[in-house]
Amino acid sequence: MALGDAILVCLTERSMTGYELAKTFDTSIGFFWKANHQQIYAELTRLRAKGFIQGREVEQSGKPNKLVYTLTSEGKAALRRWAAQPSNPPASKDDLLVRVYALDSIDIAPLCADLMARLEYHRDRLARYERVLKKRFAHGATSLAETGKLLTLRLGLRYERSLSEWCEEALDTISTVARLGARATDGESVAGD
């Protein structure tokens, strides 16, 4: 998937300015597809050049004019082609997990501080997702479009809850092992190599 595909998906909901798209990324699709505002604006230029979106200038009194982007029929066709392709499982790269894996070779205090920061991060995201669930889906989903968003949100809730629980478990386990003075030093592989 490319950023352009994510932007096309956003524009299926409604026409938006670049600013509105960036805000949409900040509050919805950006929870699972990261892009900064500069990347979004650059991609809008590329999508417009391909004919996938069109921009309509809207005059504003006392403010600069704004450009509102709309999905074109070519853009809808490109979106359908993209969606018909098989998806790839996401690549996982997490330096925190590498540090935990190397627990017997590193200082525990900085690792625990990092785990605590990560725990707070996942708790915050979980709370944000729960607010979205209550605000947007108090009565469930009533359309296919809402169903897709609700299913995505539910996965996000499970993911953040699971990672929060894992961080708590890691902190508790490391604390217990450290208190007991049991620190593995034999270099034996966890994977049983």
pLDDT digits (tens, 9 = 90+) for 100-141: 999 989 999 999 999 999 999 999 999 999 999 999 898 888
Contacts of 81 (CB under 8 A, 6+ apart): none
User: Could you tell me the fold of the domain covering 3-84?
Assistant: Arc Repressor Mutant, subunit A (1.10.10)
Query: How far, in Å, CA of 193 to CA of 191, rounded?
Result: 6
Q: And the tokens for 24?
A: 């949409």
- Residue 184's pLDDT band (cuts 50, 70, 90): very low
Quick check: helix, strand or coil at residue 58?
Answer: strand
pTM for this structure? 0.77
pLDDT digits (tens, 9 = 90+) for 49-80: 999 999 999 998 999 999 999 999 999 999 99
What are the extents of the domains in the chain?
Answer: 3-84, 95-180
Q: And the tokens for 134?
A: 């209550």
Per the CB < 8 A criterion, the answer to whether 44 and 56 are in contact is no
